[in-house]
Amino acid sequence: MEKAPGPKMEKAPGPKTAPTPGPSPASGRGEPEKTPEKTAGAFSDFLLPSLVPTGEGLGVGAIPMRLLMTADTVGGVWTYALDLARALAPYQVSVALATMGRFPTPAQRAEAAAVPGLTLHPSAFALEWMADPWDEVARAGDWLRGLEADVQPDIVHLNGYAHGGLPWRAPVLMAGHSCVLSWWQAVHGEDAPPAWSRYQEEVRRGLGAANLVAAPTRAMLDALDAHYGPFAASQVIPNGRDFSAFAPGKKQPVIFSAGRLWDEAKNIGALAEAAPGLPWPVCVAGEIAPPAPNSGGAGSDPGEASANPLPAPPELGAGGASGLHFLGPLPPPEIAGWLARAAIYALPARYEPFGLSALEAGLSGCALVLGDIPSLREVWGEAALFIPPDDPDALRRALCRLIQDAGLREEMARRARTRARTYTPERMASGYLAAYHSLLQEKSACA
């Protein structure tokens, strides 16, 4: 397919303080969004100019390894991709980041511009879990192959599944962050309906073609193997988060939660049932409805979204109002502020392949109350209180226990922060660097 004529690559502004995207996990939702409107035959309808950061020492000749990495802009994979690229930069690894799903918001583009060695290649091609995506998935594949020819990467790092079977020249590492079939099973307690058969076939084909499949937890890797395996090789590489962006503040009597409120996996309904009668307010931030595909204009910038008409948050302090308070979508600095002040973070999730929002809460010194699912047990061990996701009474009891026992609350907050600080971007980058070098060695041996 012919490549679309695009505008010339622009120089992005130099590094500056930029918000971190919200802490929601990657794809795997129950009701996929509609695809963007199509304009027949034109790649340019789906693409934006590439954004290249400025900085010294980032020339092609100075960088021993190049990655072509994919990501979506509507979930936690965006956060993961930028954290990983930032952590890889000191090792002189450059990242060409090809995004899909919808165009990045201005805040997202500003954050990408601040990552050394990262070149952003935005698009609005539909993601594999969206409704009737396959024509756009195929067109995205042609676009990605064109990027590979231009970038000449040493490694192709895919954070989606459907493009694994393309005839890549470079070795392929595929990171699995979630999937529809495991989401459906966790949320609905049954196999996904036949409507998802094409998705299952495409994901199985992509995973089977990858040279290495990685996942952030053993639980997620096992789920992928159960639904789509076997794989050529697989490895657990935990996610990481920069703890400099999250720190405990003066803790106040409030329970906080954040994420995609419309996603049944987050199980905010359990918090809504548990909140009445609690002596502390429960404040929840996030989008109430699924975002529209390709809504990357200024109107959808999370930095502008907190003006939505929602119930006002309580006044924090000894006399804070009880009950559930929806804060709406908040920009990342405001999320970090709430985490710094909240004494307790609650996430009664039914499905959470890793849980970046819980990690941010742990780094912020919150005591954690989490859904008792294998992945969260794996990540947090004895550093959180666990409750059955569908038992609001158990959730209320756990929250009351922490509210009433200040010593326990402080101990659980200490455990959470200690545990959270082990999940660093440097640890994540080290795991991926070892995997990249292993793939390159295998390629060299087979040459």
Q: What is the pLDDT of residues 333-342, one digit of tens each?
A: 999 999 999 9
**Average model confidence (pLDDT) for the chain?**
83
CB contact burial 369-384 (16+ within 10 A = b; e otherwise): bbbbbebbbbbbeebb
Q: Using CA atoms, how far apart are residues 411 and 408, in angstroms rounded to an integer?
A: 5
pLDDT in tens, 191-241: 999 999 999 999 999 999 999 999 999 999 999 999 999 999 999 999 999
pLDDT band at 262 (very low <50, low <70, confident <90, very high): confident
CA-to-CA separations, 33 to 27, 30, 267, 295, in angstroms, rounded: 11, 10, 19, 12
Residue with tokens 């929601």: 24
Asked if residue 324 lies in contact with residue 336, where contact means CB atoms within 8 angstroms, the answer is no
Asked if residue 174 lies in contact with residue 212, where contact means CB atoms within 8 angstroms, the answer is yes
56 Cβ contact list (under 8 Å, min separation 6): none
- CATH of 40-240+424-446, picked from 3.40.50.720, 3.30.420.10, 3.40.50.2000, 3.40.50.11740, is 3.40.50.2000
- CATH of 243-420, picked from 3.40.50.800, 3.40.50.2000, 3.10.180.10, 3.30.70.260, is 3.40.50.2000
Least confident stretch, 79-83, 290-294, 406-410, 424-428: 290-294
The kind and range of the H/E element at 204 are helix 197-209
Query: Which of 5, 9, 87 lies closest to 54, judged by CA?
Result: 9
* Burial class of residue 58, CB neighbours in 10 A (0-12, 13-18, 19+): middle
Q: What is the mean pLDDT of residues 117-139?
A: 96
Going from N- to C-terminal start, the domains of the chain cover: 40-240+424-446, 243-420
Residue 1 has pLDDT above 70, yes or no: no
CA terminus-to-terminus distance, the chain: 29
Asked if residue 84 lies in contact with residue 429, where contact means CB atoms within 8 angstroms, the answer is yes
pLDDT band at 128 (very low <50, low <70, confident <90, very high): very high
Q: Using CA atoms, how far apart are residues 73 and 123, in angstroms rounded to an integer?
A: 10
Helix, strand counts (H, E) of the chain:
13, 15
In the DSSP assignment, the letter for residue 103 is: P
Query: Which of 425, 70, 388, 27 lies closest to 224, judged by CA?
Result: 27
pLDDT in tens, 303-340: 333 333 334 444 444 334 568 899 998 988 999 999 99
- Look at strands 172-175 and 212-215 and give their pairing: parallel
The kind and range of the H/E element at 256 are strand 252-258
Residue with tokens 């975002």: 291
